[in-house]
Chain A
Amino acid sequence: KQEVTQIPAALSVPEGENLVLNCSFTDSAIYNLQWFRQDPGKGLTSLLLIQSSQREQTSGRLNASLDKSSGRSTLYIAASQPGDSATYLCASTGNQFYFGTGTSLTVIP
C-alpha cells in the first residue's frame, strides 16, 4: 500500500520568503502526483498535477517537482504572501488516491 508523508507538519514564515514543502511516497510506481490546497472550512483546490513521465510543473509562483526514483516531490512557493496561508496536501493518484497528512502553512504579514 502506498504511504505518503509530508514534512513539516506546520510551517510559519514571514511574508516574502521562498519556501519548500516536502512530500515523500513509498511506492515509486505512481501514476500522478498532485498538490492541493485546503483553506479552513473549505474543500480541496487542485494546484498542480505532475504526470508520471514528467519531472515538474509550474503555475505562477508555484513549482512542483517529482523524483520517482527517490520517492519525493517538492512544492516550491516563491515570494510567499499572507493569502498563501492554508494547508497543503500532496497525493499519489492513480487507481486510488493516497493523501499525505498535509503541511499547515502560515505566512505572517
Chain B
Amino acid sequence: GAVVSQHPSRVICKSGTSVKIECRSLDFQATTMFWYRQFPKQSLMLMATSNEGSKATYEQGVEKDKFLINHASLTLSTLTVTSAHPEDSSFYICSAREVTHETQYFGPGTRLLVL
C-alpha cells in the first residue's frame, strides 16, 4: 500500500528554537495533507489542512504564525514549530490524501520534546 514517511521520528530541542518536520508521500501524489498533534493520554487533534500550492487552513485555536505549514509539492509538506516552548512538546502526525482515490494514508508520527 501507499506509504507516508515523516522525518525526524523523534527530536529534542531547546526552548526558543525552531523545528521542522517533514511529511512525504513516497509512492503517490497528495494534493492535500493533514497535520495532527496528540498530547500525552489525549486524543489526536487536527491542527491544519494543507493543499499543494496554497495556504494552509488552520483549525480554531491553532496559531498559524507559530506552526508554519508549507506544501510546496505533491509529495512533501513541512510543519515548522517556531520558537518552540515546552508546552509544544507533543506527538505530531501527518496524513496524505491520494489524488486519484481520495484515500488517506498516515505517517508514523514525530515525537517532539522541547526542553
Using CB atoms and an 8 Å cutoff, list the residues of chain A in contact with chain B. 34, 36, 38, 40, 43-46, 49, 51, 91, 93, 95-99, 101
Contact = CB atoms under 8 A, between A and B. Distances in A.
Contacts of A43: 34, 36, 46, 49, 95
Contacts of B45: 46
B109 A44 contact: no
- Size category, B interface: 20 to 34
A36 B106 CA distance: 13
B7 interface: no
Interface of B: 1, 9, 34, 36, 38, 41-46, 49, 93, 95, 102, 104-109, 111
27 contacts: A34-B43, A34-B44, A36-B44, A38-B104, A43-B34, A43-B46, A43-B49, A44-B34, A44-B46, A44-B95, A46-B43, A46-B44, A46-B45, A49-B41, A49-B42, A49-B43, A51-B41, A93-B38, A93-B44, A95-B111, A96-B108, A96-B109, A97-B106, A97-B108, A97-B109, A99-B105, A99-B106
